[in-house]
């Protein structure tokens, strides 16, 4: 098992396939390499899948803390120039973070499941930005 939680277990192959499906779906935004993508998720399968998908499209992830205030997270998003925010619908309202496009991972299951699960044909440089820490 690659990941085991109370409500989900994934093998390494399943983890890779799910990350690939999300990565293929994220490609529709045509983000340049190293573009920051904010992530506001609780620890678990969705967080790991999201981080891997972000790396697979050559972008950088910006982990936000759910314990921080909305104002602080909003400031971090603005300062980092994150273009997308991957989160759960229950965590934020759609217009809470005005400077980036929210992606509600929990409402994308059908869209993501129809994506290819093979690896992306994208060359990511070894020195590319992968994470932003505040």
Condensed to tens digits (0 to 9), the pLDDT of residues 32-69 reads: 999 999 999 999 999 999 999 999 999 999 999 999 98
Q: Three-state SS for 31?
A: coil
Map out the domains of the chain with their CATH numbers: 3-132 (3.40.50.980)
What is the reported pLDDT for 109? 83
- Quick check: 13 pLDDT over 80? yes
pLDDT in tens, 85-116: 999 988 876 557 778 899 999 998 888 999 99
User: What DSSP element (H or E) covers 9?
Assistant: strand 9-10
Is 0.85 surpassed by the pTM of this model? yes
- The set of residues, in sequence order, having a beta carbon less than 8 Å from that of 58 and lying 6+ positions away, is 33, 34, 122, 124, 128
The torsion angles phi and psi of 131, rounded to 5 degrees, stand at -150, 145
Q: How far apart are CA 57 and CA 121, in angstroms?
A: 9
Q: What is the mean pLDDT of the chain?
A: 92
């Amino acid at each position: 098992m690659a990941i085991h939680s109370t409500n989900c277990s994934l093998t390494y192959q399943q983890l890779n396939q799910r990350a690939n499906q999300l990565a293929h779906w994220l490609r529709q935004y045509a983000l340049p390499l190293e573009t920051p993508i904010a992530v506001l998720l609780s620890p678990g399968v969705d967080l790991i899948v999201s981080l891997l998908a972000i790396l697979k499209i050559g972008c950088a992830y910006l982990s936000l803390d759910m314990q921080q205030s909305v104002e602080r997270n909003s400031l971090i998003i603005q300062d980092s120039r994150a273009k997308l925010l991957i989160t759960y619908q229950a965590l934020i309202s759609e217009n809470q973070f005005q400077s980036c496009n929210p992606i509600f991972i929990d409402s994308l299951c059908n869209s993501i499941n129809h994506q290819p699960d093979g690896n992306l044909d994208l060359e990511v440089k070894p020195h590319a930005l992968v994470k932003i820490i505040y």
